[in-house]
Structure formats: structure tokens, C-alpha cells
Structure 1
Amino acid sequence: MTASGASRAAIRLIVPGNVRHNSGGNAYNSALTRGLTALGTDVENCPVDGHWPVGREEERRRLAGLLLGDGGATSPAPSTARVTIVDGLVALGAPEALEAAAAAGRPAWILVHMTLPGHADREGMALAAAAGVICASSTAAAELRGRHSSAERSPARIHVALPGTSAAALAAGSSPPHLIAVAALLPNKDQLLLLEALAGIRDLPWTASLVGSDSADPAYAESVRGAVIRLGLTERVSVPGELSGPTLDAEWGRADLSLLISRTEAYGMVVTESLARGIPVVVRDGTGAVEALAAGSPGGSEAPDDGGPPNLPGAAVVLGADPAPLEAALRTWLTDPGLRSRWRDTALAARTRLPGWDFTARTVLDAIAASGPAN
């Protein structure tokens, strides 16, 4: 099932209907759809409502019905082989639906953005019932292999299709330096820790923007805005909510440093989005964001075992609940012109090596083709 093959590909992509904000998974799914379409693949996006992951019993039954029947989907042409791919946020907690589809001779693929360690048994059953598994990061793939390699029913073959990156305008930066953190306001993204670190460098000139949805967790968003006031950062830090289009482009354009310090992260597409604009990034060590930070490095995009080579376009900082290491990293960057120049130069070099979404789409099609005829 390649773009140049005699049989035209058709893919039905089942995505969670309960994620309304601009998550990395949603962005990946949308960009993958565009990339596949550009390669001549018919793609139908099917949102399925539910309390995912896991969902309720009736929601899992509805998913099974969608996998077993057309579910309102347009039937492909006779010369077209259809493949169903289910977003892991939906599939990993609903193994019964995957098993029903496999039993009927219509196994579905799973596209994993984030794993489901809190429901490892259900995750393992879903993987075992899948036609194949595509992970959006090497980090997620390694986690799945490590958790299920000794399971009674080994999971289907796992492939990796790293996120692509769209071309973007080079950021001009600002004076004083402007820091940007693009992520939904959620506890996992740890904006509160970031604000504590920023409060420790108030003696230096800088500004910052925390850009991201404030509707995913309104209580946490309120805590973030309250912390800006409590820490005396109202003249330095803006929290504009989720932005898009020219307004978001303007925020990117004035940025000098990007931050993604999530407690857990399978990849972190905002990292490569930053690099595409020549903006270096500070990430939390031990997360998949380190893999993204190395995506444009000459050695490739595998996460280095030692935290990364010295020429990373930014840094991976070891973080817990104490903001001091992040505060120290930011202070060093702000006060060391040589370091700022090296990070910027490395980000500019990485910018030219980032793969596009056509690469991601071809990787997905090649994985499906290698598994044999579609069901």
C-alpha cells in the first residue's frame, strides 16, 4: 500500500471526540491526514465521543460497532483497500472493541501518542488484538515494548512514525529576551513550576508568554493565573489562553527561547515547532521531549542515552518539584551571550534537517504495506 502502488489506499482514522483543545495528538492526526491525502490516500476522520481513555461500557460497545460496520462511513471504491486506524487514546482502553473487530476478520491498527500505564492490562489486550501499532515517538514504542514484551499474548509489531514539521517563518526574537511556553494549562505541563523558576530570575530582563488552552482544566488554569499575581510577575508574564493563526505566529515571532517542562511527554511536537522557527528549547530530562529536541541533530532523532550530545539546540534539565535547576538553567542562558549564540546556531542548523509530514505519512503507509493485505 504505497503512494505509487496499483491499489489505492483508503484509511479511516478514528479519533477521540472528547479532546477539544489543540493537543499534540489532535495536531498529529490532522497533519497526518493532510500528508496522507497529499500522497493520494483517501482519509476519513471519524470522531467518536466518549470518556476516553477507557470510556464507559456503552461507549466501548459503540466503538466496536464502528469497527465492525461502516458506521456511516462512505464505502471505498472496489479497487481500494481500506485500513482502520484508531487513536490510542480511544483504543488502548477499549480492548473488547479491538478483539471483536479482529474476531470478525477486520483488525484495526492503533496509533499511539501516549501510552496508558494506569491500565496496563487493557493496554496489553488492545495491542495484542491490533493489526499493528504505530507509535508517534520512539519513547512511546520503547515503553510499550518494555511493558508488554513478556506478556502472555505478545503485542502486534510496533512501528514508529515520528511527527513531521511544517515549514515556519524564522523567529526574530525580542529585546529583552522573550520566553514562550506553548502547552495547554494542565498539571502535567507544570506551568506552576515554571512560574516559580521565573520568579527567581526577576532581577534579570526578560518577558514570557504561557500560551495554551485554559478550558482543559479550568481550576489549574485559574491557579496559574493566580500564581502570576502572587509571584509578582504581572508585568512580565502573559497568559493569553489558546491562540491560533496570525496571533500565535506573532507570539512565535518574538520568542527567543521555548520551554516544555512536562512531567511526562511521549514526544512534544511543540519542541520541533520551535526548532522550525530557529528557537532553542529547554525540556525536562527523562521525557520524550528529549527525543524531539534531538530531532534535527546530525545523529538523527533517537533520544540519547546520556541526556543528549553537547550540541543540542537547548537543554534537558533534570527536574522534580524544586524549581531551582530550571531557575539556574534560565539564569545561565540569560547571562551567557556565548551560550545563547550556540543554542541559537544549533537551532538554526536543526531547522534545515527536520523531516516534513510527507515523511511521516510515507512511514505510516510503509508500515501498513509491510504487514500484508488490508482487511
Structure 2
Amino acid sequence: MVAIRFIVPGNVRHGSGGNTYNAKLARGLTALGASVEMRAVDGDWPVGRPADRRRLAGAFDGATTVIADGLVAWGAPAEIAEATRRSVRVWILSHMGLPEHHELESQALKAATGVICTSSFAAADLAERHPEEGSGKVVVARPGTEHVAVAHGSDPLRIVCVAALLPNKEQLLLVEALGRLRALPWTAAFVGSDDADPAYAAKVRAAVVRSGLEHRITVTGELSGPALEEQWRAADLSVLVSRSESFGMVVVESLAHAVPALVRDGTGAVEALGGSGAGKAIAIGDDPEPLVQALDGWLRDAALRRKWRTAALRARDGLPGWDSTASIVLDACAVPL
């Protein structure tokens, strides 16, 4: 049996994609027979203060194999190097890199046993920044999906944006785009934590009211379980226009419900959508007009909606489960050094 200590950041408490991936990976590893110990390490991550990094160093003590979330690990190369010197196998689980601290990222990559990236997009991005250090060290383990009910949709058509209310997720841009489409019938739901950045969440809520859309756009806050499933079942289209995404796990969640998706071109969400034909990747800058045009076309064109829906139903059947993700990670962790 492989014993894995799974170190995660203690300072991210909302239902982020990273937190969801970590929890489902841990369950998948356990189902495959691994012994998984979750260990949350508080700190001002991703770089942390000296005291934070000392706590991280302590979390390595007594372990043989560690998976450390990159939010904690990328900024602590010295602690990783010391752990590996003591024969602790340290795998960095990289939901996103640390490009703004290039040297720390480079040193952590050198020190780690290996890196698990959650998408080929993220792996390529890392390799481009560190072509020598990353050679042969990176494993790709894309998020899985769970078996869920097919969405039934709504009348009028319902658009969902499932993401924490954060500047990177660009909900303000989506509000502006929807405001230009008020003449068409639709409703929308913004589903995600408003605690991660309360100031931005307040701006989103204010923009909805200022646009006169408070009866058409519902800002639900963070949902899980049946309440989240209810939102998915009512959806006809999901939108994820984040400025950056290493993968965009919500896109495969959308496809699992047979809900097509609009994503931002140039991000990892394009990989999540893949060649399914169940939606579109849009080149978007600061102007929402390309998003307006894409939404307008979908709202007006019933044939396009049927085409994307059919493609989403087809894509749904080919999505891998979390057992596949866990198997890739477990195989990597079990390979002898």
C-alpha cells in the first residue's frame, strides 16, 4: 500500500477548482487502495512568510511520499529540497504555476521528485518557462467527472457561470455583455463564492443592479450538493471567460451535464472543451463585444443550440472519471526512484 501525505493550503477556504480537485483526487486514491492523510498548512501562500515555510517543513516530517499543492509548494524550494534530501518523495500538484516568482518556481521544480499538472496546457506552460528543469519530471492528470443527470434546461434559456466571484473570472465582463442583450429572453445565474474577494463580489452585485438586471441575473453565492445540481439541471449554456485558467474544471462538469460551454480562447479552458464541438472558444480582450456576439448568436439560432447540445450529449459519454485521474497519480507516486 502506498502511503501518501497530501498537503493543501489552509488559507483557501472557498470551493475553488483546486480544492475540489484535491478532495476528489484524495477520494480516488483511497478507492484505489492508497492510504491518504490530508494535511492543511496555514500561511500567506503562495510564497508565505518564514514561519509559514517552517510549518510546511514540519508537514514533511515522517512522510515517505508527499503530494503538495503547488499553491503551498512553489514558493518553498528550500523546504522541498531538504525533504527530498531526507528521501521524502515530494510531488508538486500544480493547479497553476508561480510565473511571477520565476526563480522560486525553477528551484522548486529542480528540488521536487516530480510535478503533477492538471492539464496539458499547464504542463506546456511550465515547460516553456523551464525547458531544462522540467524535462521528464511532469505528469499530466486531468480532472475527472462524476456521473450526473443530464440538464433539462429552462424557458427562457438559462445561462450559468459557475466560478468564485473573483477579478480573474471576469463576471463584470459577463454582466456588461448580458446587459447588451436585454432585448432577448434569457435568465442567468452566477454560482460561486462571494467570500474569496468580497470587494469584487460587491462590484458584481452592484453592476447587476446598475444594469437593471437584478430580476434576470441571480447571484447565488457558493452552492454544493443538490443546490448546485439544481442549477446545472436548469442550465442551457455555461460561460467561463476567465483571463487565465490552467484547465477550467467547470467546463467538463458542464459537459457531464450535457450543457455546452463558451470559454475564453488562449486559456486551459479550451483544452477542457476539447474538440467536442459543444460550444466555442472566443478571443476576448477588454471589450465584451465578442462575447456579446457569441451569446447573441446562440440565443437567436435554434439550430446552433441543437448542434451544441447534441455535441455535449455525445461528449458526455466519453469523459473520464476520477478513477482515471487517481490511477495516473498513483502510478507516478509508486514508480521506484
Shift of residue 104 of structure 1? 2.1
Aligned partner letter, 1:336: D
- Post-superposition offset of 1:242: 0.5
Residue pairs, 1:17-166, within 5 angstroms: 17-67=10-60, 69-70=61-62, 82-150=64-132, 157-166=137-146
Is 1:222 matched up with 2:202?
yes
Query: TM-score, normalised on structure 2?
Result: 0.98
Q: 1:58 to 1:156 in 2, by over 3 A?
A: farther
Is 1:337 the equivalent of 2:302?
A: yes
Provide the C-alpha distance between the structure 1 equivalents of 2:35 and 2:103, rounded to a whole number of angstroms: 34
> 1:368 Cα deviation (Å)?
2.3
Match of 1:301 in 2: none
- In structure 1, how many angstroms separate the alpha carbons of the residues matched to 2:223 and 2:209? 22
Gaps of at least 5 residues in structure 2 are none
Q: Structure 1 regions of 5+ residues with no counterpart?
A: 1-7, 74-81, 298-310
Whole-angstrom distance in 2 between the partners of 1:146 and 1:274:
30
Task: Look up the equivalent residue of 1:62 and give its one-letter code.
Answer: R
Mapped pair 1:207 → 2:200: no
Provide the residue aligned with 1:3 in structure 2: none
Which string of whole-angstrom CA distances, capped at 9 and with x for unpartnered residues, describes residues 273-330 of structure 1?
A: 0100000000000000000011xx5xxxxxxxxxxxxx52100000010000000000
2:2 is paired with a residue of what secondary structure? Answer: strand
The alpha-carbon deviation at position 103 of structure 1 amounts to 2.1
State whether structure 2 residue 198 is matched by structure 1 residue 233.
Answer: no
Letter in 2 for 1:40: G
For 1:14, the equivalent position in structure 2 comes to: 7
| More displaced stretch, 238-247 vs 316-325 | 238-247
Q: Secondary structure at the match of 1:108?
A: strand
Tell me how far apart the structure 2 counterparts of residues 86 and 231 of structure 1 sit (CA, whole Å). 43
Give the ranges of 4+ consecutive aligned residues of structure 1 lying more than 4 Å apart after TM superposition. 153-156
TM-score when scaled to structure 1?
0.88
- Aligned equivalents of 1:50, 1:290: Cα separation in 2: 32
Query: 1:199, 1:210 → 2: CA distance?
Result: 14
Candidates 249, 252, 255, aligned match of 1:275: 255
Q: Where in structure 2 are the equivalents of 1:344-355 lying within 5 Å?
A: 344-355=309-320
Partner AA of 2:171 in structure 1: Q
| Other-structure match for 1:369 | 334
Aligned AA (2:326): A
The equivalent residue for 1:265 is 245
2: CA distance, partners of 1:30 / 1:14: 11
Aligned length: 337
Cα distance in 1 between the residues matched to 2:136 and 2:169: 31
Q: Choose from 301, 325, 333 the match for 1:360.
A: 325
Q: What amino acid is the match of 1:278?
A: A
Take 1:312 and 1:182, find their aligned partners in 2: how far apart are those partners? 20
Structure 2 Cα separation of the partners of residues 33 and 264 of structure 1: 25
Instruction: Describe the SS at the equivalent of 2:144.
Output: coil
- Cα root mean square deviation, aligned: 1.2
